[in-house]
């Protein structure tokens, strides 16, 4: 494991990347920030805020080194946080060499759609990064509340607690609390699945279902998640912990959830394509739904909520009829 390079770098320029920049620099650490677009990189360096996301966050010029040279950042830093949408990760790291001694931290919470792999597996198979060098950041946490300096919670999961503790040391601060977990696989698949359930929560809201339904819906969703996680990676994990149930709740209920917003539009009658075009951010649950549906079908798992969301998204099923069947027969 790499021990000499102390710097930490972030790849991405969206809301979550900006929130992570705030966390790390507020905690007093120097951070290298890779931004693909040179004009945007220059703007942020000059005006000290991100014009497109969380523009209220002030960038500390003495702590944040902005660059559009990705290989430089990869070579300079011992820890790299990936914070681009999963659909763009392949494009982002194409043509560069990822040093294998670095720790790579996925803040993506999605799958790479070309390979249908979660990030730890994608990094291993496509870039030769050992999974022991990979960690994942999960919630419950929304970037907007980090920007507003509201008390927020993160879980860092890795195969070994030593790696998770290293990453934790860069994130924890006055408004940020961090837990560590050794359940890399479970935490990553949980982060993928909660986006599917958030789309379903949004569909229900768009259809006019209320809080009573949503409470039952989320209690059933966490049980579905447990069934899937046990099939993929049997363990004595407690799905009532923050990385699982906590992240699920905030993603299903929060006004800041892009997946819930996407689902809400589907519930109100938007087509998938129209909802995608209107949103300014990627709803990771769109890709996740296809992955989880296929994996659960191969194992003959009963996941009625995840299946219902898949049918609405990929089979053009009528949302109202699909959720009527779901509410009448499959939630209890």
Question: What structural domains does the chain harbor?
Answer: 8-182 (3.40.50.720), 192-330 (1.10.1040.10)
- Chain segment 209-258, per-residue pLDDT in tens: 999 999 999 999 999 999 999 999 999 999 999 999 999 999 999 988 99
> How far apart (Å, rounded) are the C-alpha atoms in residues 96 and 101?
15
| Residue in 194, 295, 320, 321 annotated catalytic | 194
Q: Are 143 and 256 in contact (CB under 8 A)?
A: yes
Backbone angles phi and psi of 153, in degrees to 5: -130, 135
Query: What's the pLDDT score for residue 5?
Result: 54
Q: In this structure, are strands 79-82 and 64-67 parallel, antiparallel, or unpaired? A: unpaired
In the block, tokens 């790579």 appear at 104
pLDDT at 230: 96
Q: Which are the contacts of 20, defined by CB distance < 8 A and separation ≥ 6?
A: 10, 81, 83, 107, 137, 171
User: What tokens appear for 69 in the block?
Assistant: 């040279």
Residues 105-119 as b or e (16 or more Cβ within 10 Å = b): bbbbbbbbbeeebbb
Annotation says 121 is catalytic: no
Which positions ≥6 away from 6 have C-beta within 8 Å? 78
- Is the alpha carbon torsion for 60, 28, 25, 102 positive or negative? positive
Alpha-carbon separation of residue 230 from 44, 58, 134, 224, 301 (angstroms): 44, 42, 21, 10, 11
| Entry pTM | 0.91
User: Residue 2: pLDDT above 50?
Assistant: no
- Residue pointed to by tokens 């296929």: 294
Residue (of 168, 173, 178) closest to 26 by Cα position: 173
The whole-number pLDDT of residue 86 equals: 86
Contact in structure between 228 and 197 (CB atoms under 8 Å)? no
User: Following DSSP, what letter does each residue of 220-277 receive, concatenated?
Assistant: HHHHHHHHHHHHHS-----TTSIIIIIHHHHHHH-TT-HHHHHHHHHHTT--HHHHHH
pLDDT tens string 4-44: 556 899 999 999 999 999 999 999 999 999 999 999 999 99
Average pLDDT over residues 294-311: 96
Q: Which residues, other chains included, contact 32 with Cβ-Cβ below 8 Å and sequence gap of 6+?
A: 7, 8, 9, 10, 65, 67, 73, 76, 77
Beta bridge mates, 137: 156
pLDDT at 255: 86
In this predicted structure, the answer to whether residue 87 has a pLDDT above a threshold of 90 is no
pLDDT in tens, 190-210: 999 999 999 999 999 999 999
The structure tokens listed for 32 are 């290298």
Residue 11 contacts residue 70 (beta carbons within 8 Å)? yes
pLDDT tens string 132-188: 999 999 989 989 999 999 999 999 999 999 999 999 999 999 999 999 999 999 999
């Amino acid at each position: 494991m790499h021990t000499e390079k102390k710097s930490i770098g972030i790849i991405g320029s969206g809301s979550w990347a900006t929130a992570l920049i705030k966390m790390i620099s507020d905690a007093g650490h120097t951070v290298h920030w890779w931004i693909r677009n040179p004009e945007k990189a220059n703007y942020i360096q000059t005006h000290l805020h991100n014009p497109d996301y969380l523009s209220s966050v002030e960038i500390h010029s003495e702590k944040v080194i902005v660059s559009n040279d990705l290989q430089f950042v990869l070579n300079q830093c011992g820890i790299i946080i990936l914070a681009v949408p999963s659909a763009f990760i392949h494009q982002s790291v194409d043509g560069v060499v990822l040093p294998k001694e670095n720790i790579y931290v996925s803040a993506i919470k999605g799958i790479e759609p070309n390979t249908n792999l979660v990030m730890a597996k994608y990094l291993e198979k496509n870039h030769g990064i050992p999974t022991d060098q990979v960690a994942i950041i999960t919630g419950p946490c929304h970037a907007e509340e980090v920007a507003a300096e509201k008390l927020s919670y993160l879980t860092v999961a890795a195969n070994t607690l030593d790696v998770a503790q290293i990453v934790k040391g860069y994130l924890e601060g006055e408004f940020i609390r961090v837990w560590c977990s050794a359940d890399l696989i479970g935490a990553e698949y949980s982060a993928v699945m909660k986006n599917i359930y958030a789309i379903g929560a949004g569909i229900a809201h768009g259809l006019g279902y209320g809080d009573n339904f949503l409470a039952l819906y989320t209690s059933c969703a966490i049980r579905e998640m447990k069934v899937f996680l046990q099939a993929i990676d049997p363990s004595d994990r407690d799905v009532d912990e923050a990385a699982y149930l906590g992240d699920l709740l905030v993603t299903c209920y929060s006004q800041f959830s892009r997946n819930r917003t996407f689902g809400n539009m589907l519930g109100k009658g938007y087509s998938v394509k129209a909802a995608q075009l209107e949103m300014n951010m990627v709803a990771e649950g769109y890709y996740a739904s296809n992955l989880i549906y296929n994996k659960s079908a191969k194992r003959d798992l009963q996941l009625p909520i995840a299946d219902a969301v898949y049918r609405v998204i990929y089979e053009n099923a009528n949302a109202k009829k699909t959720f009527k069947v779901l509410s009448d027969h499959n939630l209890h």
